[in-house]
Amino acid sequence: MAPLLPRPLLAALLLASTASSSFVTASRDDGGGRFDPTRAVHVSWRPRAFLYKGFLSEAECDHLVALAEEGGLQKSMVVDRLTGKSVMSQVRTSSGTFLPKKQDRVVATIEERIAAWTMLPQENGESIQVLRYESGQKYEPHVDFIRHTAKGYHSRGGHRVATVLMYLSDVKMGGETVFPNSDVLIADLFPSCMHISFFPTYDLEINLFGHRPRRCSLKTTHGQSVHDVVKPVKGDAVLFFSLHPNGTTDPDSLHGSCPVIEGEKWSATKWIHVRSFDSRPRVPATGCGDENDLCPRWAANGECARNPRYMVGTAGNPGFCRKSCNACTSSL
């Protein structure tokens, strides 16, 4: 496991994400602009997930799609759990491209808005990936955190702590985003469906991790399939966390994108890590010292014992607060 974040920062992330708990209906035309916490609604605790109506304006959505088309789309890849490298896989059949963070003012503004919503530094995020799903294309159930078996997974940014999924188009049929392990009924998220309880599910051969789903569907509690409840809405965005507040991985963050049945689906994904993704792999400072000004305060609050991986570290991967934790001896 990658070094855990200090609890004060993790607590701040949780509080920031739960700033609003009331559903706010918003016109997609007045999306965009500055971050407005009143437009974000909590939708699930398992996983921790939040919906922002009108996160992007129509013009911003169209602009991202245009940039992706101009730059050229490539077959989407996945992270190999053993090597940590990007590889081709039938698990993910979309095409996409990455947009540099400062490609233009529109992209830079969206990056700033994402940072404001998540309360995570821009440098912790990967570049926005714009994806196109054509008819029949999908992304099977998966998690975004980097499995500990991947070689070198912690060398650049550590775990993915959060994901922001932005919808850039409507879809005629299909393309729903589902969280198979979620503890929330879809009826709780969409008031128009309150007359009946819906929940997302995948039809599976045996289990989510060992076999591919036969069919991606939404079903009522009576077993009836529903295909028009959770559809991508142009301009909306979903934020969900792949780690628990204590920094451990959350298997309930398992999610997938149903196949597009009719039309095409455009989306933009932002993966955010626990540490800077922009900087080169960290080279621990030599000697005895702290690498964060808050180390003395964290140590005084007992973080050396509660969070030893981050604070003290190991012989091969020294922590960030070794001096304050009395894990080394200063020559001064």
The ranges assigned to domains in the chain are 7-273, 283-332
Q: Is the pLDDT of residue 213 over 70?
A: no
Structure confidence at residue 85 as a pLDDT band (50, 70, 90)? very low
Percent of the chain exceeding pLDDT 70 equals 62
In the block, which residue shows the tokens 């609003």?
20
More confident residue, 166 or 6: 166
| pTM: predicted TM-score of the whole model, two decimal places | 0.64
Reduce the DSSP state of residue 293 to 3 states and report it.
coil
Burial of 314 (0-12, 13-18, 19+ CB in 10 A): exposed
Residue 53 DSSP class:
T
Reduce the DSSP state of residue 58 to 3 states and report it.
helix
CB 270 within 8 A of CB 125: yes
pLDDT at 28: 42
CB 227 within 8 A of CB 54: no
| CATH tag for 7-273 (out of 2.60.120.620, 2.30.30.60, 2.40.50.140, 3.40.50.1700) | 2.60.120.620
For 102-146, the pLDDT digits (tens) are 899 999 999 999 999 999 999 999 999 999 887 776 567 778 887
Using alpha carbons, select from 2, 77, 60 the residue that is nearest to residue 236. 60
Any idea which of 142-156, 181-195, 254-268, 313-327 has the lowest mean pLDDT?
A: 181-195
- Beta-sheet strand order (sheet of 128-133): 40-45, 48-52, 237-241, 160-167, 265-273, 128-133, 95-99, 74-75
